[in-house]
Amino acid sequence: AIGVLLPEEYMTKDLCEFLQTRLISVYADSDPENPDSMYRAVLAGVDGLIVDDIHLLYEFFTVFPEKTLLRKPLVIGHRGMSTHSPENTIEGSMLAYQAGADVIELDIYLTSDNHIVVIHDSTTGRTMNGNLTVESSTLSQLRTLTILDSTGNFPGLRIPTLGDYFSAFQNLDVQIF
């Protein structure tokens, strides 16, 4: 995991959100003797406050009402929206984005002819209608297979490349991870 310690002058909601949607944890170096800086950091949405005295931190948080939501949770579409579409497909990832995902998580492999393809397993047997080893196959060989679709809504899909993903999502406000 990657984390940053932001100085007070950079502690803004926009910057915290920007970093967090790139899966970077944001922390603030806080002084419990200066509650205004701690409020500013918490309201900016930091993941944590760095303090010298944990008891002062607990005391600080008692001023917030119980079950206060201080920032929007980050929504990650794991392999897209695999409950409604085949996993690791552009179509499934688009469904996750449309449902509100901030981040689309993918799994990638390099083919024998140096194409980066999006697939979870090292072989195609579980997710496609044939069994090839991804890293020992060319993109053309992999694209002779179709992706299995238990929903029946996406027949005939082929394995996408990472470039296909970048093209499909290039103008959308979502991170590809």
| Active site residue ranges | 78, 120
**One-letter amino acid for residue 166 of the chain:** F
Q: Any idea what DSSP says for residue 88? A: T
| DSSP string over 90-159 | HHHHHHHHHTT-SEEE--EEE-TTS-EEE-SSSBSTTTBSS--BGGGS-HHHHTTS-B--TTSSSTT--P
Strand partners, 29: 50
Strands (E) in 17-119, as ranges, are 24-29, 48-50, 76-78, 103-105, 108-110, 116-118
Nearest Cα neighbor of 75 from 25, 16, 21, 13 is 21
What is the pairing mode between strands 116-118 and 108-110? antiparallel
